[in-house]
Structure 1
Amino acid sequence: MRDAIYFQEELRRRFPAAHSRLCAEIDEQYRAIAPDVAFARLSSNPMDRRLDFCSYFLATILILERHGESPETIRDTCLAVTRAFVQPRNSWQRWLRQLPAKLMGTPVVALMARVMQAKTGRKGHEDGFLVQVVTSPAETHGLGYGFDILECGIVKLFRKHGAGQYVTVLCEVDELTSALAGLELVRGGTLARGASRCDFRFRHLPPKR
């Protein structure tokens, strides 16, 4: 997996003595999970394509759990990997991350919302995602853009492998990525916690002084 280096570096830092063995076991577990997400690469729903990366998360969680690591250690490890992965590498990437917030409320975002609905409003696979885009200003804090995940491929994948309790770790990542984009994520619930949807609503973060 192309982005496995982010996992490997964090495992080396946290578990220096067992690092090589853990990485080998995780790679083996990832290959075992791979058939469950093989559809994602060619899915008509672009949301499904994140399942390959998430399957490596799942492999990491399952192996750490098998080695007796606590849920807290597993959560902290996964969040550390994610922070390293999403951080902009340079000023250009930082600008790109903040561009959506700058475009909120413009015709460009309205067009993007229509395109996103067309691509993600239908399931590409039964085990994938289903999304409803929301454009009503009254429902989106005046920004004209939000979305609801009605079916989550990550929840389905993790539950299939007996790791449903760890999906909430990846839900925490949404707040981090939103903040990097200059937005506050306003959420009422998630599928992982038993809600009927994962609602993504946003507000502009105040400018840093």
Structure 2
Amino acid sequence: MKYRRHFRKILTRKYPELYDSILRDTEYRYAQISRDTIFSKNSTNPLDKRLDLMAYFLATILTLQEKRLDFQGIQSVCMEIALEYVRPKNRLQKWLKKLPPKLIDTSLARLFLKRMQKNIGRKWHEDGFRAELVTDKKETYGLGYGIDILECGICKLFSKHKAQEYTPILCKVDKITSNLAGLELIRKGTIANGADKCDFRFKKK
């Protein structure tokens, strides 16, 4: 739950007079929404682990919507929070974020990816993720790593709470995290925007 401090940092700065009200309402909504993501804590699918954070994002979005913030305003807040959350806080973190692409051709990485495919290839829960790894270098711009999201737990969560129009905001965060890893994200479509799958492909910068 350490992610809360990043939300509070941005919201305090942007809305000092409304902060107490925003925090109270967000926490109340999160308590309700998180019932739908409680399964993620025990899921063997690593993609499901992000759903608790997404539940807090959703609670924040719905609270800001109630405060009459428009879509662009909500998107701006979410992107600031996401950037604050993922950005490296020191040199070690910066180095670690750029390490995975450098290890992708190692035997250790291949072993990890094989195990990862087993875990992400099946749904642990009906409301969770299902995905498929792509390791053919011809299909991954020579990197040897890509991923197709076939069922998106975030889309399911947001749709369940009638907030599906906000799901694409979270898709934008993927470009930030890819950039921090020294990669350019290339994606033809996302489930949030009506595609059959989210195709993650990357190029080394």
* Bucket of the pairwise TM-score, normalised by the shorter protein: over 0.9
The corresponding residue for 1:26 is 26
Output one character per residue of 1:111-156: Cα deviation in whole Å (capped at 9) or x when no partner.
2221110111111100000010011111111111111000000000
Deviation at 1:104, TM superposition (A): 3.0
- Say whether 1:166 aligns with 2:166: yes
Runs of 4+ in 1 over 4 A off after TM superposition: none
The answer (yes or no) to whether the contact 1:88–1:94 under 8 Å persists in 2 is: yes
Q: With structure 1 as the length reference, what TM-score do the two structures score?
A: 0.95
Counterparts of 1:39-58 in structure 2, within 5 Å, are 39-58=39-58
For 2:14 and 2:126, how far apart are their aligned partners in 1? 37
For 2:112 and 2:198, how far apart are their aligned partners in 1? 20
SS across alignment from 1:188? coil
Deviation at 1:191, TM superposition (A): 0.3
The answer (yes or no) to whether the contact 1:109–1:145 under 8 Å persists in 2 is: no
Deviation at 1:49, TM superposition (A): 1.0
For 1:175 and 1:109, how far apart are their aligned partners in 2? 22
Amino acid at match of 1:25: D
List alignment gaps of at least 5 residues for structure 1. none
List alignment gaps of at least 5 residues for structure 2. none
For 1:80 and 1:176, how far apart are their aligned partners in 2? 11
For 1:86 and 1:96, how far apart are their aligned partners in 2? 12
SS across alignment from 1:143? coil
Output one character per residue of 1:169-196: Cα deviation in whole Å (capped at 9) or x when no partner.
1100000000000011111100000001
The corresponding residue for 2:77 is 77
The corresponding residue for 2:189 is 189
Q: Percent identity?
A: 46
For 1:44 and 1:104, how far apart are their aligned partners in 2? 22
Deviation at 1:9, TM superposition (A): 1.2
- Say whether 1:65 aligns with 2:76: no
The answer (yes or no) to whether the contact 1:110–1:135 under 8 Å persists in 2 is: no
For 1:45 and 1:106, how far apart are their aligned partners in 2? 23
Output one character per residue of 1:41-73: Cα deviation in whole Å (capped at 9) or x when no partner.
001211111100000000000010011101001
The answer (yes or no) to whether the contact 1:150–1:197 under 8 Å persists in 2 is: yes
Q: With structure 2 as the length reference, what TM-score do the two structures score?
A: 0.97
For 1:91 and 1:9, how far apart are their aligned partners in 2? 22
For 1:145 and 1:2, how far apart are their aligned partners in 2? 30
